[in-house]
Structure 1
Amino acid sequence: MPHTTSSTATTTGTNATASTSASVDSLPWEELVTSALLGTDRRPPAPRGGPVPADAPAALLDAAALHTVRRRAGLLPA
């Protein structure tokens, strides 16, 4: 019989990570650059008053990559 408790915990963790990632993805490019220049310890890549990602450097790089792909594709952020 499969063990369902771990999949539920994984799903919950994934949703929390996805929502934090979504909030970082919505930051303007200037905020991402500021976080990169000052460091994620001093200026975490998160909206004002929003949740700080658990792995801030990785979230910053992911958000910058997403902005770059959108710009190269000619899409405007949602």
Structure 2
Amino acid sequence: MPRTTSPTTTAAETGTAATAASSASLGSLPWEELVTSALLGTDRRPPKPRGGPVPADAAAALLDAAALHTVR
């Protein structure tokens, strides 16, 4: 029988929450900056909100932010 509640948060759940928070903050970046980060690579030009930290998983955060812009 599957568990419906978990006493602790798993690492995957924590990573997903962190990525969602990062992509939400990157959602305010202009489309051109997201494209530039994608073309140059997240190692050379990590996507980061102005005054904010670079997301831990920059590539995933970039893809999430681009998907958010596309839906808008």
Q: In structure 2, what is the equivalent of residue 46 of structure 1?
A: 48
Q: Map 1:1-78 to 2 at 5 A.
A: 4=7, 6-7=8-9, 13=14, 14=17, 16-70=18-72
Distance of 1:48 and 1:61 partners within structure 2: 18
Runs (4+) of structure 1 exceeding 3 A deviation are 16-19
Q: Which runs of 5+ in 1 are unaligned?
A: 71-78
Secondary structure in structure 1 of the residue aligned to 2:23? helix
TM-score by length of 1: 0.65
TM-score w.r.t. the length of structure 2 is 0.69
Task: Kindly tell me the number of residue pairs found equivalent between the two proteins.
Answer: 66
Gaps of 5+ in 2: none
Higher fraction of helix: 1
Please state how far the C-alpha of 1:22 moved relative to its aligned partner.
1.7
Distance 2:40 2:52 in 1: 18
Amino acid at match of 2:53: P
| TM-align CA RMSD | 2.5
Q: Which structure is richer in relative contact order (CA contacts within 8 A, separation 6 or more)?
A: 2
